[in-house]
Structure formats: C-alpha cells, structure tokens
Amino acid sequence: MPFDGRRRRLARRRGALRAEGLSARGLCKRWRNVVGVAGVDVDVRPGEVHGLLGPNGAGKTTVFRMLAGVEMPDAGEVWLDGVALGQLPLHRRAQAGLGYLPQDDCLFVDLDVAANVGIAARLGVDVGGCLTLVGLDGFGPRRISGLSGGERRRVAIARLLALKPRVLLLDEPFAGVDPVAVQAFGQLVRALAETGVGVLITDHAARETLALCDRVTLLDAGVVQVVGSPAEVAADPRARDRYLGRDFLLPAVAIAPQDRYDPS
C-alpha cells in the first residue's frame, strides 16, 4: 500500500493525527450543489466507544461510508494506526483491521448462521467461537431468515469479529432491535471496547447510544458542532437545540460490559 511518510510526520507535529486507532481529517463530500459533509474531523481511540450523533440528514452515514471505503471523500484523509488508507476500498480496509456494520446487515438469508460468519472469515477462524462471543452459541445451523432483528445484528457482529478488527464502525446497530436486545447489544459493545477495540457508533436511539459512549461528536448539516463527553454534549445548548431537545435527560447509569470478549 502506498504510504506518504511526509504527510504522516507533518500531521503528528501538528498534533492532528493519533498514532493508534482511527483518525480522519477534513472529510468533505459534495453532490453537485449539495454539500453533504464539510471538513469533518473524528478520532476513535483504542478501547473507546465514540458516538457520532446528529439529526436526520446530518451526514453521519456519509462519514461512515467514507471511513469504511464504500465511497471516497472529495477532500480529506483517513488513517488507521497512523497509516494513510488513501483510496483503499472496503475489503482492503477490512483486511487492515477496520470493520464496518452498515444499516443493512447484508446477511445471506438463504444460508445458515455459520456460513454467513465463515464467508468473511480467514482460514482457520473458529466460527463457533465467534458466535459464542456474541451470545449465539449453538446458532450455527439456524437459517438467517428465522432470526430476530437483534439476533441478525449479532450474527453481523460475529462476522466482523472473525476478521479480528482493531476498529469497528457501527451504523445504526439498534435499528429493528427490541429494548431488551438493545441493552444486551450495548453490553457486548462495551465488552469489545474493554479489550482495546475502538468503536465508532451512530444510532437514532440517542439515550441508549450516549449511555454506551466515552466521547461524542455531534454533527449537523455536515459540520461538527460539539465534541465532548456524553455529559458535556447533553448539556451543550447547541446539542439541545439541534438534536436532543431541551428536556433531554442523560441516563443515570451507563451501560456496562456483560461478558469479556477475547480476540485471541
């Protein structure tokens, strides 16, 4: 992969680039006369759950797609562990350690669970072990078409874990998931983070997402408005006016990990 050492050294001297985790600087995307994303910076540190939140049309999914390599930015750059990803497509970024869960989990409904996880896995990966990690022990022979929304999301996560990612991008993981499953899914995400996996998450379930996060970036109209802890963002007038509402209350208790994920 081409590597621009001079740009990396300059970015580090300016304090703009983290040597570990995922970093993006100045991401821009335009469609004709419509600006979708305008100069977005975001970092995901190892072991951190970082929320990218904002109203409909804020540009969140576009940022995720540019980070994942589904589409390329018109300007800006993305680094993983200090290495510029340049024009690498989705599958090459996955091989480099960047896992992406889109809004549509893209599972093969006519195949069983084990086959779906195994498709993405490298040779020798323990598919059953990946399923156990996400709470689906014994689900291997079951058809995707017979699973609930929460179970399907867990299969999609197991497929990502088979590639042993260092950073996960989760785009609306709670969509179509009942409240009990949301809590369990959140505990899984926290357990992943405790092992050093960085997580960037966006979801319209603002209260549940904030309860997961260590840090939050609020996006509106393609521009970063606020960056801070969940408490700082929830108290910020811009976040309340543009997204959360003036009566929003932050959850009193953050979501804690339930089971420890072992990536070895």
- How distant, in Å, are the alpha carbons of 156, 175, 199 from that of 101? 7, 12, 11
Position 185 scores a pLDDT of 83
- Say yes or no to pLDDT of 51 above 50: yes
Residue 59, Cβ density class (10 Å: 0-12 exposed, 13-18 middle, ≥19 buried): buried
Residue 220 clears pLDDT 60, i.e. is over it: yes
pLDDT band (50, 70, 90) for residue 1: very low
Question: For the chain, where are the alpha helices, taking DSSP H only?
Answer: 5-13, 60-68, 90-96, 113-120, 127-133, 149-161, 179-194, 206-212, 230-235, 237-239
Query: Higher confidence at residue 144 or residue 255?
Result: 144
Q: Is the model's pLDDT at 132 over the cut of 60?
A: yes
Query: What H or E segment, with its residue span, contains residue 200?
Result: strand 198-202
pLDDT, tens digit, 9 for 90 and up, residues 54-70? 999 899 999 999 999 99
pLDDT of residue 14: 39
47, 41 in Cβ contact below 8 A? no
Phi-psi region of 222 (alpha: psi -120 to 50; beta: other; left: phi over 0): left
> The whole model's pTM is what?
0.85
Contact 213, 190 (CB under 8 A): no
SS3 string, 27-78, reads EEEEECCEEEEEEEEEEECCCCEEEEECCCCCCHHHHHHHHHCCCCCCEEEE
Q: Cβ–Cβ contacts within 10 Å for residue 260, how many?
A: 10
The model's confidence at residue 178, banded by pLDDT at 50, 70 and 90, is confident
pLDDT tens per residue across span 4-28: 444 444 444 334 555 689 999 999 9
Percent residues over pLDDT 70 in the chain? 86
pLDDT of residue 260: 41
pLDDT per residue as tens digits for the range 186-204: 888 998 899 899 999 999 8
Higher-scoring residue by pLDDT: 246, 253: 246
For residue 213, give both structure tokens: 């996060």
